[in-house]
């Protein structure tokens, strides 16, 4: 018989590592699932290690020896988004980056670059704008990208919240989607299906990743175990042929 304990952590607090150790030791946990961004913050990973409690990292952003990890193919899935846009005739594609503390989100920018290369497209620094995973940062990014003299005809965003912000700002500026501009996101949160037009995105298999993490712990696995659960592209109304 196992019970689930969900403990929120403010990863920005200086003493979060000590607080997490106290929770683990007081509750005598049998296993821990570390979700991002905690899973890629090594000071917190080391704090968990010091308790001797088995743990699995979800979307840690990179493989590390002697850790159990569950991830999805962030980079390749983003490259496939670029493939999709290139097949629609888009040659000028912008990108909105995510919070740098989320290593897995940062991998999506690597995938964006990979997608450009394999489709013979040039990376333009002007068409890459920093975001912080928030809706508001997506609006700010769109305000920059869509007022460029040589603006992109498509914008790839590192998550859905920023993509929704891009969609809203584009409409404010008078763009019709997808006729004038195509926009994509990543994660497939509920918002992606609620906005108009509905968002082309990548469905991150979060439920399956969590299931596999728990199964690893229940089976008593240890050491270096790395598993990738593939993401799936969801084609919706926010992408269309490049404008003439």
pLDDT value of residue 203: 96
Residue 1's pLDDT is 65
The pLDDT value recorded for residue 4 is: 81
What HEC string does the chain produce? CCCCCCCCCCCCCCCHHHHHHHHHHHHCCCCEEECCCHHHCHHHHHHHHCCCCCEEEECCCCCCCCCEEEECCHHHHHHHHHHHHHHCCCCCEEEEECCCCCHHHHHHHHHHHHHHHHCCCCCCHHHEEECCCCHHHHHHHHHHHCCCCCCCCEEEECCHHHHHHHHHHHHHCCCCCCCCCEEECCECCCHHHHCCCCCEEEECCHHHHHHHHHHHHHCCCCCCEEEECCCEEECCCCCCCCCC
User: Does residue 178 sit within a domain?
Assistant: yes
Query: According to the model, what pLDDT value does residue 43 have?
Result: 83
Q: What is the pLDDT of residue 35?
A: 85
Per-residue model confidence (pLDDT) at position 140? 98
Check whether residue 85 and residue 197 sit in a common domain. Answer: yes
Q: How far apart are CA 194 and CA 182, in angstroms?
A: 17
Distance CA 166, CA 94 (A): 11
pLDDT of residue 63: 63
Specify whether 107 is located in the same domain as 68: no
**Predicted TM-score of the model (pTM):** 0.87
CATH code, domain carrying 169: 3.40.50.2300
**Does residue 170 share a domain with residue 95?**
yes
User: How far is residue 210 from each of residues 18, 19, 109, 120, measured CA to CA in Å?
Assistant: 25, 23, 24, 37
Domain co-membership, 52 together with 113: no
Range of the domain at 101: 74-203
Are both 66 and 91 inside the same structural domain? Answer: no
Same domain, 112 and 171: yes
Regions of the chain where pLDDT drops below 50: none
Task: Give the dihedral sign, CA 17/21/27/29.
Answer: positive
My answer on whether omega of the bond before 197 falls inside 30° of 0, hence cis, is yes
Is 63 part of any domain?
A: yes
**Residue 117 belongs to some domain of the structure:** yes
Q: Give pLDDT, residue 21.
A: 84
- Whether residue 2 lies inside any domain: the answer is no
Tell me if 238 is assigned to some domain.
Answer: no
Total tally of structural domains belonging to the chain: 2
How many alpha carbons fall within 13 Å on the CB side of residue 62?
10
Is there a single domain that holds both residue 90 and residue 191?
yes
For residues 33 and 140, membership in a common domain is answered with: no
Task: Report pLDDT for 151.
Answer: 97
Within a domain: 168: yes
Clarify whether residues 46 and 117 are in a common domain: no
Q: How many CB atoms lie within 10 A of CB 128?
A: 18
Residues 46 and 142 occupy one common structural domain: no
Residue 244 lies in a domain: no
Q: What is the pLDDT of residues 153-202, one digit of tens each?
A: 999 999 999 999 999 999 999 999 999 999 999 999 999 999 999 999 99
- Decide if 126 is inside a domain: yes
Residue 84: per-residue pLDDT = 98
State residue 3's pLDDT score. 78
Say yes or no: 82 and 189 in one domain: yes
pLDDT score at 64: 66
Residues 90 and 138 in one domain: yes
């Amino acid at each position: 018989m196992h019970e689930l304990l969900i403990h929120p952590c403010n990863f920005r607090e200086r003493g979060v590592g000590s607080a997490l150790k106290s929770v683990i030791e007081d509750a005598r946990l049998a296993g821990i699932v570390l979700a991002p961004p905690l899973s890629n913050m090594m000071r917190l990973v080391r704090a968990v290690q010091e308790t001797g409690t088995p743990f699995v990292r979800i979307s840690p952003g990179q493989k590390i020896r002697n850790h159990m990890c569950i991830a999805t193919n962030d980079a390749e899935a983003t490259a496939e988004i670029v493939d999709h846009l290139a097949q629609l005739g888009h040659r000028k594609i912008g990108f909105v980056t995510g919070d740098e503390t989320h290593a897995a989100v940062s991998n999506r920018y690597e995938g964006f670059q990979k997608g450009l290369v394999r489709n013979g497209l040039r990376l333009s620094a002007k068409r890459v704008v920093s975001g912080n995973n928030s809706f508001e940062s997506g609006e700010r990014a769109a305000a920059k990208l869509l007022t460029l003299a040589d603006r992109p005809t498509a914008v790839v965003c590192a998550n859905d919240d920023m993509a929704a912000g891009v969609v809203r700002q584009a409409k404010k500026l008078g763009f019709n989607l997808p006729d004038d501009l195509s926009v994509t996101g990543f994660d497939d949160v509920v918002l992606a299906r609620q906005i108009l037009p509905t968002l082309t995105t990548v469905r991150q298999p979060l439920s399956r990743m969590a299931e596999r993490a728990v199964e690893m712990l229940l089976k008593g696995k240890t050491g270096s175990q790395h598993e990738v659960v593939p993401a799936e592209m969801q084609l919706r109304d926010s992408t269309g042929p490049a404008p003439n």
